[in-house]
Amino acid sequence: MSKKHSENDKHKPHLLANSITKSFGAVQALKHMDFEVNKGEVMGLVGDNGAGKSTLLRILTGVEKPDSGEVSIDGNETKISSPQDAVNAGISVVYQSLALCENLSASENVFLGKEILYTYGANFYPNILKPLNKYLMEAETKRSLENLKVDSIKYLNQKINGLSGGQRQCLAIARAIHSNSDILLLDEPTSALGLSQTEQVLSLIKKLRTADRAIVIISHHLSHLYEVCDRITVMKAGQNVGVFSLHHTSEEEIIRAITIGEVVINK
């Protein structure tokens, strides 16, 4: 365990979860869990089933509230007690289920909840009754998919129920980054995909890495993580059992940490 990340102690992480504890009845899902990710970095989050990955994700996105511990962004403590708080804090998430509406078009899915409306200069009636500017929404969607080099989704104004799993994953990611968030959490982005679709999504993730964005990927596929991540945080039984820089760590060492990893706290 000598490769633990300690070289940038002076560096302030972009997102820092400090000593998070969460219990569900008698089950302690998280025990003083520490987690961090820097800007410009892709961080993997691995661990066996039941290690607490999903609980951590749900706390970071405001779906669950921690019993103790705090989350800070750029060194400022940030209260995240609802999904809306998470959005306001610049955290967006792509769930494993993707949370897309099958019966809506690609552009409607990207803009759902933050539609572009015609205002006609009138403000005496509520936004919800205003007409949608479908053209602008579609053009914006087209542009952001082009920026991500996703060219396989052709008809942005048609229902998405004909799209493949990879295309949907790309669309869900496009929606997540469209909200101008600088922290992106991806839950199992490749779990349900075939080979070529996995490649498509991984290359998209590589393109997402920019200097001012922090990306967290939860996955069981170490090889996929090796392709895109800088570091991997390993969880076991609700605790952080090590943060590994992938340049210096072999896959065996990570697997050992996942299966028999003991907690060595050296933060």
Partner 1 sequence: MINAIDKTLASLIKRNISGYLPVLMALIVIWVYFGISEPAFLSSRNLYYLLMQSSVVGILAIGITLILLLGEIDLSIAAVAGVAASILGVLSTNYDFSPLTSCLVALIAGGVLSCLMGLVTSLFGVPSFIATLAGLMGFQGLMMKILGSNGTINVRDPFIRGITTSTLSDNHAIILSIFIILIYGFLLYFDHNKRIKYGLNINPLKLILSKFSFFSLSILSVAIALNSYRGVPFLVVIIFFLTVFIAWFTKSTAFGLYIYAIGGNAKSARHVGIPVIFVTICTFTITGLIAAIAGIIGVSRYASVSYNTFVGGPLLLETIGAAVIGGTSLFGGHGSVWHALLGALVIGSLGNGLDLTGASAADKLIVSGSILLVAVSIDSFARRFKK
Q: Report yes or no: 1 and 242 within 8 Å, Cβ to Cβ.
A: yes
**Shortest approach of partner 1 to residue 200 CB, angstroms?**
21
**Amino acid identity at 134:** K
Q: What minimum distance in Å lies between the beta carbon of 138 and partner 1?
A: 5
The distance in angstroms from the start CA to the end CA of the chain is 13
> Least distance to partner 1 from the beta carbon of 27, Å?
24
Q: Decide if 14 contacts 73 (C-beta within 8 A).
A: yes
88, 96, 115, 157, 220 from 22: Cα distances, Å: 23, 22, 36, 43, 23
- Residues 57/244, Cβ–Cβ less than 8 Å: no
| Collapsed DSSP state (helix, strand, coil) of residue 8 | coil
C-beta of 58: minimal distance to partner 1 in Å? 12
Which residue lies nearer to partner 1 by CB, 145 or 202? 145
Minimum Å gap between C-beta 129 and partner 1 is 6
Q: How far apart are CA 140 and CA 265, in angstroms?
A: 46
- Output 115 or 230, the one with its CB closest to partner 1: 115
Q: Which stretches of the chain bind partner 1, using CB under 8 A?
A: 83-84, 87, 99-104, 108, 112-115, 117, 127-132, 134-136, 138-139, 142, 154-158, 161-162
**Which C-beta is closer to partner 1: that of 1 or that of 99?**
99
Please, what is the Cα angle at 97 between 172 and 84, to 5 degrees?
70
- Residues in contact with 263: Cβ distance below 8 Å, sequence separation at least 6, in sequence order: 236, 239, 240, 241
Residues 41 and 213: their CA atoms lie apart, in Å, by 7
Q: How far is the CB of 107 from partner 1 (least distance, A)?
A: 9
